[in-house]
Amino acid sequence: MSKKKISLFIGIILIISVSLFLYINRLDETKLRYLESKLLENEYISSVDITKDDDAKVFSLEGKKSYPYQIAAYPSSKFIEMSDDEKLLAMESISKQIDETTGTSSLVECGRNKYCSIQDIFVMGRDENDDLVSYVIPYEYDQSADDLAMEVIGTGGNKTITLNSSSDKSKKSGTSKVSIEKHNAKYSGNFISVIGTVKNNTSSPLSYIEVKVSFYNENGDIQDTKTTYVNSSDALLPNEQKSFDTMVEMIGEKYTKYKIEVVNYSN
């Protein structure tokens, strides 16, 4: 075989090897496309697109890379005609449909050693004045409407909607006024730690914020609950974010799901 043919043969082998490596290690969004098709069955959505959040950092989880994703949808006419409280319940139904389709926490297998982590759900449309508006909730596995704080972001200003936003209970506990922001879980041996941030949506500084983290197995059975507090010796100012973290030992099996709740705060 001539040197020219040998060089050509080696070149072809290299091209095939590189192509195979890139294919095996690609970010596979097949399951996300399937999730899109299932979400289109929801009566409150007219179209939907699940996209990678390029502004958010990729983090490591269970030795895999986790890529943050967002669900952006356009509303159906039924959604548009609803009150804010009804829209919050509609957002809950979208969240529940994600739970049923993925069967996991917020993590979807997206290729070799990769997760796609669903962070937020956006429904974008227009309000009664025909102004652009977005309805946003953070996504967590197995959340209920009672836990949700829906951000309404529009040209006329922003507001936060909860089911109890006008009740005395909400005013006393204030839990609807403190939102959970970005969060993730990390594993180390038999231990799982959850790290996240909370945001003060009130108009006053907060000196005490209590957060509860519940841990579940693959079947959704609760395994442990841990209460923690925001990491700060200073008050949390309005619109400011600060971190919290907690760690538990996994007993008998792996804890694959978790749920975060703000259970109390004070000025």
Q: Which residues pair with 120 in a beta bridge?
A: 70, 138
30-39 vs 84-102: helix crossing angle, rounded to 10: 140
Residue 138 exposure: Cα atoms within 13 Å on the Cβ side: 21
User: Looking at per-residue confidence, does 169 or 263 come out higher?
Assistant: 263
Name 124's Cβ contacts closer than 8 Å, sequence gap at least 6.
72, 73, 74, 75, 132, 133, 134, 135
- In the predicted model, what is the mean pLDDT of residues 117-136? 86
Q: What is the pLDDT of residue 104?
A: 57
187 in the same domain as 147:
no
Mean pLDDT, rounded, for 37-50: 93
* Banded model confidence at residue 25, pLDDT cuts 50, 70, 90: low
Query: What pLDDT, on a 0 to 100 scale, did the predictor assign at position 166?
Result: 38
Q: Is 23 inside any structural domain?
A: no
CA atoms within 13 Å, Cβ hemisphere of 243: 7
Tell me which of 12-21, 73-82, 230-239 is least confident.
12-21
**DSSP alpha helices (H): ranges in the chain?**
3-24, 30-39, 77-80, 84-102, 168-173
Global pTM value = 0.54
Do the domain assignments include residue 106? yes
Distance CA 231, CA 66 (A): 24
Count how many domains the chain has. 2
Do 34 and 128 belong together in one domain? yes
Integer Cα distance of 114 and 108 in angstroms: 9
pLDDT at 49 over 90: yes
Using 50, 70 and 90 to split pLDDT, how confident is the model at 17? low
Beta strand ranges found along the chain (DSSP E): 45-52, 59-61, 64-75, 107-109, 114-126, 132-138, 150-154, 157-161, 178-188, 191-200, 208-216, 222-229, 241-249, 257-266
Residue 26: the pLDDT is 67
Residue 170 scores a pLDDT above 70: no
Among 30-34, 102-106, 169-173, 217-221, which stretch is predicted with the lowest mean pLDDT?
A: 169-173
Residue 146 pLDDT > 50, yes or no? yes
Q: Are residue 93 and residue 154 in the same domain, yes or no?
A: yes
Binned at pLDDT 50, 70 and 90, residue 175 comes out as very low
pLDDT for residue 27: 83
Residue 168 has pLDDT above 70, yes or no: no
Residue 189 in domain: yes
Same domain, 154 and 92: yes
Residue with tokens 């299932």: 38
CATH of the domain at 235: 2.60.40.10
Q: Is residue 19 part of a domain?
A: no
Determine, yes or no, domain membership for 11: no
Domain boundary among 133, 163, 193: 163
124 & 156 share domain: yes
2 part of a folded domain: no
Same-domain check for residues 158 and 199: no
20 in any annotated domain: no
pLDDT above 70 (res 172): no
Structural domain that includes position 211: 167-267
Both tokens assigned to 203: 């108009």
Q: Report pLDDT digits (tens) over 54-79.
A: 887 887 766 788 888 999 999 999 99
Residues 107 and 36 in one domain: yes
Last residue of some domain: 146, 163, 180?
163
pLDDT in tens, 81-109: 888 888 989 998 998 888 888 775 567 88
Residue 7 lies in a domain: no
**Residue that wins the pLDDT comparison between 177 and 223:** 223
Same domain, 97 and 110: yes
Token digits of residue 194: 């959850």
Higher pLDDT: 188 or 220? It is 188
Burial of 226 (0-12, 13-18, 19+ CB in 10 A): middle
Which of 163, 198, 224 terminates a domain? The answer is 163
What's the CA dihedral at 206, 92, 163, 256 to 10 degrees? -40
260 pLDDT higher than 60: yes
Verify that 257 and 212 share a domain, yes or no.
yes
